């Protein structure tokens, strides 16, 4: 029966795929790589010091010799391609601009990580490594919402009503996401970072248990 064939084939496929994977655990990412990448990203945000929100990524693209950002339909947010003597980024034209910006910043994050690797092993092409991806996500969010700019914003628009009580941050997050041109979820993660949460009495309810 054709139905039997249909259900059988994917099972074989899965089996083969499982067998071809390495059985041992992949090594941890290099010690201190995330810390160094975040530190470099923080320094790079100084390129935006004289700019107004939402910060254009142009200066970062130039810094990393990314010669072109090409919009086209993709099966993912964005991808980084080597285009000697530099790089190009393809970004999914089907997604909203805020998601596109975050996708581009994530790809720049890969180049930030690359500069911080000490072992001489390239991380490029390791899009499937969730640990590297996590660092690039974090770096991408940070590049679009520099600590100094977000602190300034929260100081201005999220004044706590009392020194001890958290204030619901939902309206602030929505307005900050628009002001910085990033998706709401990404801004929730940023504002939920302990640095901001404690300093500005941010109330996030069930959300916000994440790192910056």
Name the site residues for Zn ion (rule: CB under 5 A). Answer: 127, 133, 136
Nearer to Zn ion, 53 or 127 (CB): 127
* Closest separation in Å from C-beta 60 to Zn ion: 16
Q: Return the DSSP state at 158.
A: -
CB 110 within 8 A of CB 64: no
Q: Which residue's beta carbon is nearest to the bound Zn ion? A: 127
Q: Are strands 167-168 and 86-92 parallel, antiparallel or unpaired?
A: unpaired
Nearer to Zn ion, 133 or 147 (CB): 133
| End-to-end CA, the chain | 53
* Closest separation in Å from C-beta 127 to Zn ion: 5
* Closest separation in Å from C-beta 75 to Zn ion: 14
* Closest separation in Å from C-beta 24 to Zn ion: 23
Residue 131: exposure state from Cβ atoms within 10 A (0-12, 13-18, ≥19): middle
Q: Which residue's entry shows tokens 């970004």?
A: 91
Nearer to Zn ion, 138 or 201 (CB): 138
Q: Which residue's entry shows tokens 């001890």?
A: 164
Nearer to Zn ion, 139 or 191 (CB): 139
CB 200 within 8 A of CB 187: no
Prior bond of 151 cis (ω within 30°): no
Nearer to Zn ion, 138 or 158 (CB): 138
* Closest separation in Å from C-beta 140 to Zn ion: 9
Q: How far apart are CA 129 and CA 4, in angstroms?
A: 35
């Amino acid at each position: 029966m054709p139905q039997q064939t249909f259900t059988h084939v994917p099972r074989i496929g899965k089996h083969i795929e499982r067998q071809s994977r390495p059985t041992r655990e992949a090594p941890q990412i290099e010690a201190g790589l995330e810390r160094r990448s975040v530190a470099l990203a923080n320094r790079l945000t100084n390129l935006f010091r004289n700019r107004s929100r939402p910060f254009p990524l142009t200066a970062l693209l130039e810094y990393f010799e990314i010669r072109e950002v090409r919009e086209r339909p993709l099966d993912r947010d964005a991808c980084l391609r080597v285009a000697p003597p530099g790089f190009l980024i393809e970004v999914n034209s089907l997604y909203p601009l805020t998601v596109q910006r975050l996708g581009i910043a994530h790809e720049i994050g890969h180049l930030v990580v690359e500069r911080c690797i000490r072992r001489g092993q390239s991380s490029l092409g390791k899009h499937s490594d969730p640990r590297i991806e996590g660092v690039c996500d974090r770096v991408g969010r940070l590049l679009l919402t520099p600590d100094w700019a977000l602190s300034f914003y929260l100081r201005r628009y999220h004044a706590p009503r009392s020194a001890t009580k958290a204030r619901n941050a939902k309206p602030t997050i929505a307005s900050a996401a628009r002001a910085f041109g990033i998706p709401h979820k990404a801004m929730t993660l940023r504002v939920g970072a302990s640095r901001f949460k404690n300093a500005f009495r941010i109330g996030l309810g069930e959300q916000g248990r994440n790192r910056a």
